[in-house]
Amino acid sequence: MTGTLFIITAASGTGKTSLVKELLGSTDNLSVSVSHTTRAPRPGEVDGTHYHFTDKQSFQALIEASAFLEYAQVFDNYYGTSKQAVMDLLAQGIDVILEIDWQGALQVKAQFTQAVMIFILPPTRQALAERLSNRGQDSQEVIQKRLAGSLDEMRQYDQFDYIVINDHFETALSDLQTIVKSHRLTLRAQQSRHAALIAALFDDAPIHS
């Protein structure tokens, strides 16, 4: 039995992390792959929970060992997804979420053609700018740099399977839940999940009333 790989991408400040957290808390048999990154932890982030924080030398060693399913440079830092961690979860029949940028999403899609790709967009550019400013963690110069980078990222939306607009949080969450549930009802997923049941339905053994 194999799980479904869901790729969720969004520009910085779009609210992806909060949405994914709530999605995980409200959906069974769903796990998120914890990425590696070379950026420093933000306040409240825990190593091994939010990211595997590592230095650039160690990250490079993992690249050379072909340990990543995908990796990319975003701004001045690197991000990567452990190949073995994802494969182990999928093999157990667990659906997996990858929170990665659009470059990594396309890398993964090339290897997992059945992966489900979701892009989260903000309702307006102004809303995105306000969300980046309200974090209170970065200087105005850094905020403007992130905003410009976010706008470039969002132009890749048309390479994805689904778009979710994060205007109202509960609506966006419901949209994500619907996407996951609908893919669990596809022919491929149901054949895998209920293989024994389906086999029994078409067994030639006599039926006893």
Q: Bridge-partner residues for 117, per DSSP?
A: 7
> Distance (Å, rounded) from C-alpha 67 to C-alpha 55?
15
> Distance (Å, rounded) from C-alpha 59 to C-alpha 37?
8
Q: What is the pLDDT of residues 33-81, one digit of tens each?
A: 999 999 999 999 999 988 999 999 999 999 999 999 999 887 789 989 9
| Packing angle, helices 16-26 and 169-184, rounded to 10 | 50
Q: Classify residue 111 by burial, with Cβ atoms within 10 Å: 0-12, 13-18, 19+.
A: exposed
Q: Which stretch of DSSP H or E encloses residue 202?
A: none
Write out the binding residues: 10-17
**Integer Rg of the chain from CA:** 19
> Distance (Å, rounded) from C-alpha 191 to C-alpha 189?
6
For 91, the token pair is 């093999």
Report pTM. 0.84
Q: What is the pLDDT of residues 152-209, one digit of tens each?
A: 889 999 999 999 999 999 999 999 999 999 999 999 899 988 989 999 999 887 877 6
Residue type, 127: A
Q: Bridge-partner residues for 121, per DSSP?
A: 165
User: What is residue 199's predicted lDDT score, i.e. its pLDDT?
Assistant: 92
DSSP-derived secondary structure letter, 122? -
Q: What is the pLDDT of residues 114-143, one digit of tens each?
A: 999 999 999 988 888 887 777 656 677 777
> Distance (Å, rounded) from C-alpha 47 to C-alpha 44?
10
Write out the binding residues for ATP: 10-17
